[in-house]
Amino acid sequence: MSDIHLTLACEDYDRTRALRDGRVKPDGIQLNYLVLPVEEIFWRMLRYEEFDVAELSMGAFLVAAAQGRRSFVAIPVFPSRTFRHRCIFVNTSSGIERPEDLRGKRMGVPEYTMTASVWLRGLLQHDYGIAPEEIYWFQGGEEQPGRKDRVDFDLPPKIRLEVIPQDSTLNQMIESGEIDALMSPRMPTCFLRGSPRVRRLFPDFKQTEMDYFRRTGIFPIMHAIVIRKGVCEENPWAAQSLYKAFCDAKDLCFSQIYDSNILRVSLPWDIAEYEETARLMGHDYWPYGFAVNRHVLETLHSYLFEQGLIKQKLGLEKLFAPSTLEAFKI
């Protein structure tokens, strides 16, 4: 049987690069790897289902599934995961010095449903006692006017969400003081250029995030790999083939991280960073698989439910290809 041809839309990560350059090939599949910005991938996949396989926002995937849209089947590959304390920025004239000061303040967010903001609202509520309804929310483009949410959603009446003017950006508004704070996975350009009017809420974010992991054991999942349902129906074996290939690519990446012979990453102390991370999180700190990530997935799922973005709990296992939930043994 000849290989099938599938198009994968995914960012360029070290843990997926072996799939892109051909060092790892999925059994029975010729993969056309398109490197695109994640915002573009999510928009095109959720709106038009353009790709056979794609990296997708975990939050948007769960919201769509809860609305009855089951166009995609996930595999337990999580190419993007990151701590998000670093992603809250505040205007220096806002009077915000600590998380509790966010009560009653104006918070910008590019998309209310984006996974990063779901995680951040969850930790603000559970770690600092600040409920989403205690903040005034402003949604819109961070750097470009007119950004829209990728998925439709209904909010609880107690949530105050306003769309910013079509000619405004959150970057402009955080610097000018029109909003007090910004919650975004991308650092705003005003912060990047060193504006004295904008700073992080958590200046020592690394220590704060490490403490969070010590308390919770959570390394937040942002994105998963999904396959169009039709691809899985026509080729039931493809999900497992792709899952194995993503695992092999990640294993190859991690075998090279701890190579002190040469510097593969342009950071002089990358080995020290790896060793510190491994001491805290273990050597396999980026695990694929459903069971090992169940606690993280269930936490995100609970936050979506608490925040009113999904109206009923989902059976998470049912959203993943069954063949990827268990493995054969020799």
User: Which are the contacts of 256, defined by CB distance < 8 A and separation ≥ 6?
Assistant: 264
Give the H/E segment covering residue 138.
Answer: strand 136-139
DSSP state of 105: -
Beta bridge partners of 136: 106, 160
Domain boundary among 198, 216, 234: 216
Q: Are residues 68 and 106 in the same domain?
A: no
Q: Looking at the domain assignment, is residue 329 inside a domain? A: no
The CATH number of whichever domain residue 103 belongs to comes to 3.40.190.10
Q: Looking at the domain assignment, is residue 117 inside a domain? A: yes
114-143 core/surface letters (b: 16 or more CB in 10 A; e: else): bbbbbbbbbbbbeeeebebeebbbbbbbbe
* DSSP code per residue over 219-281: --EEEEEEEEHHHHHH-TTHHHHHHHHHHHHHHHHHHHHT--SS-SSS-TTHHHHHHHHHHHH
**Contact (Cβ atoms closer than 8 angstroms) between residue 142 and residue 148:** no
Give the H/E segment covering residue 198.
Answer: strand 198-200
Which of 80, 23, 69 lies closest to 45 in space, CA to CA? 69
Which of 198, 193, 212 lies closest to 84 in space, CA to CA? 212
Q: How many domains does the chain have?
A: 2
Structural domain boundaries enclosing 243: 4-81+220-324
Q: What is the pLDDT along the chain (330 residues), one digit of tens a residue?
A: 699 999 999 999 999 999 999 999 999 999 999 999 999 999 999 999 999 999 999 999 999 999 999 999 999 999 999 999 999 999 999 999 999 999 999 999 999 999 999 999 999 999 999 999 999 999 999 999 988 877 878 899 999 999 999 999 999 999 999 999 999 999 999 999 999 999 999 999 999 999 999 999 999 999 999 999 999 999 999 999 999 999 999 999 999 988 878 888 888 998 999 999 999 999 999 999 999 999 999 999 999 999 999 999 999 999 999 999 987 655
Q: Looking at the domain assignment, is residue 330 inside a domain? A: no
Q: Is 12 helix (H, G, I), strand (E, B) or coil?
A: coil
What length is written for the chain? 330
Q: Are residues 122 and 151 in the same domain?
A: yes
What is the value of pTM for the model shown? 0.95
Q: Looking at the domain assignment, is residue 274 inside a domain? A: yes
**Contact (Cβ atoms closer than 8 angstroms) between residue 122 and residue 306:** yes
User: Which are the contacts of 241, defined by CB distance < 8 A and separation ≥ 6?
Assistant: 26, 27, 28, 29
